[in-house]
Amino acid sequence: MPTPHRVVIALFPDVDLLDVTGPAEVFALANRESGGRAGYEVRLAAPDPGPVLTSAGVRLVADLSFAEVGAAVDTLLVPGAVDVRPDGPVALVDDTVVEWVRATAPHARRIASVCVGAHVLAAAGLLDGLRATTHWSTAAQLAAGHPEVRVDPDPVFVRSGRVWTGAGISACMDLALALLAEDHGEDLALAVARQLVVYLRRQGGQSQFSVPLSQPATARRDIDELRAFIAEHLDDDLSAPALAERMCLSERHFARVFRQETGTSPAAYVQAARVETARRLLETTDTPLEQVAATTGMGSVETLHRAFRRQLNTTPAAYRRRFRTTP
């Protein structure tokens, strides 16, 4: 008989739909791919059983009321909800949900939040003294409201003992795959990822988004075009003088405009783009470090090492050992 894994997912009005259905699909596929041996039983719980309207306008049906869940919980999964305001999204925290999570957590083998569900865990006191993540857009709100939590807005997910916190939206799949891998190993997690046709599995220490995504479009089309050029020509001469010449600007004026539009210097931007590409090569290929350095325009393994030490506080070899994904 399979070891039972009772996954209870909290439901409440305006909950993010994918936060609920994404992990549920991962666990359902794990059962299918393992011939039922994975043993996951997913239940949706809400203050009252019945339909719950999600933020997408789609109704989900709660199997149980909070009062009916009891102590038989293997994984307690808490999704999130946001109120989109003119000054940006704000995480919503329902006191009823917080109280139920606080009472149920001691009975669960592990607790996980998805996206801004971390705000609920924090309000329940479950993140005190722990490192945690959430969607980047509400990370500042989490840090300000709960200074006792060590908020890291960058990772896809963070594990702190039996408490897991995940980043935004699609990162719920990475978190659920990591939970699956903990229970049944990497092979089953990989099989499920293939069925989902998603990136094999982003590891927890990886960034929520890439260098281009972390920099929104600027007010100048020529700067945006230059950023695209940098991404596509990392092994070219991307020094400030060369980029200024390409922009037909003096080096001083170019540096001022670039910083004004992107918030960083040309050299720092180029370095970040090169490190990101190096990370992808280390994660997905067995390319020798010498070739990684050449392809990304860093020139030498020594320069590659210095860049990784400066930006990631690790070495290229150590990064590859941790994050290499075998096809």
Domains of the chain: 5-196 (3.40.50.880), 211-323 (1.10.10.60)
Tens of pLDDT along the chain (327 residues)?
A: 455 899 999 999 999 999 999 999 999 999 999 999 999 999 999 999 999 999 999 999 999 999 999 988 999 999 999 998 888 889 999 999 999 999 999 999 999 999 999 999 999 999 999 999 999 889 999 999 999 999 988 788 899 999 999 987 788 888 999 999 999 988 898 889 888 877 544 554 445 444 444 455 556 788 888 988 998 899 999 999 999 999 999 999 999 999 998 888 999 999 999 998 898 888 778 999 999 999 999 999 999 999 998 887 788 998 887 666 554
Neighbouring C-beta atoms of residue 326, cutoff 10 Å: 8
Q: How many angstroms separate the CA atoms of 248 and 251, rounded?
A: 9
CB–CB of 240/271 below 8 Å? no
Q: Which of 69, 115, 171, 230 is catalytic?
A: 115
Judge whether 115 counts as a catalytic residue: yes
Report the sign of the C-alpha dihedral through residues 154, 156, 157, 158, in that order.
negative
Q: From CA 214, how far away is CA 303, in angstroms rounded?
A: 24
